Chain A
């Protein structure tokens, strides 16, 4: 089970900052990021990819999205 980043309700650039910090912390594995706007979903996915992580799943979750990113 990977870590969870709850960035719901936070505006740009907080969700990306939190995701990049978590990527730095865990180095590899799986991270689930919760966001509540499409903009945050796009920004987090784009930032994860630039760090060499894969976006393995994006699911609607309540008012937002649950993004799963992974690096083996």
Chain B
């Protein structure tokens, strides 16, 4: 067991996990998920917000089993390897707000860092602007980290506190089984579903859940983090996590070529727009928020699965942020940024800079 435990902390361990994600994400697209969206943590949390009725954007409503699998897979791995550590108390309200603005930034770009990489691997060159923005946002975050920014220490807490988030996800999964989509209808008894648009496009539930569980398990073991990949490179000149990211993009590119899903260009890309400045700025905001919160959206779910209640609050912030983004016209669409998206990015930067400048707790 210890050999298995140590392997994923090695360079080949993290590369292997990146390759696994890079193969299965395009496959999920082949099996039904939207274009260049085999896995998108932000988009899928947005769809979950939709199926719960936190927003009523009809085209993005689905209880994505991949997200549920991420949390439960991480929980299983954490218990199996005795790493489940229930902890809370590191400025949860700040993490909630960071989650909101991370989602706003991601929905202005139309994707999280995971999807930015998958969009690149699918030939969507708009992703280059998003990734440049992401790196810029993370770089700003590293300046705060160098200056002593920190949200304070967590406290050990009741085991059941660490269970709350995975249990909520399990509850969502049960709701999917007892309240499934009725063909052609926008609502079952409780959950909202999409009958057209990205929310209506999904791989079979069991396959999505199985891939989610696998990714959650392996990502918990390897500490896979797309934000950390750039942050560690900038902050410490350490390429460990970055190698996982290279593995993901390379494997996704090759898998897309094999599946004939590689379509290079800027225009007409799936669930994407060509407003370069706002692709850049949206992801810069998301990158800054992820850096200040200590993990990309996927990593936050994996942390929540292993008992980190603060990460669970961040994820909750992202789901609520998706509600705001679609209720108040902040989210982009293939036509371009939403009517209030630009203002929201500016407000988001102001809030993140306030958090970065004022929270320098030490010791």
Which A residues form the contact surface with B (CB < 8 A)?
8-14, 16-17, 20, 36-39, 42-43, 46-47, 50, 63
Contact = CB atoms under 8 A, between A and B. Distances in A.
Interface in B57-91: 81, 83, 85, 87, 90
Given A37-B85, A46-B238, A63-B85, A13 B153 contact: no
Interface in B225-251: 225, 228, 231-232, 235-236, 238, 240
A10 B145 CA distance: 13
Interface residues of B, number: 27
B85 A9 contact: no
Contact of B150 (A14, A47, A50): A14
A68 to B, nearest CB: 19
B156 interface: yes
A12 B9 CA distance: 15
B155 A11 contact: no
B232 A13 contact: yes
B150 A12 contact: no
Contacts of A9: 87, 90, 153-155
Interface of B: 9, 81, 83, 85, 87, 90, 145-146, 150-151, 153-156, 223, 225, 228, 231-232, 235-236, 238, 240, 294-295, 308, 310
Nearest to A14: B150
Nearest to A11: B294
B182 to A, nearest CB: 43
B153 A47 contact: no
B223 A39 contact: yes
Contacts of A10: 150, 153-154
A34 to B, nearest CB: 12
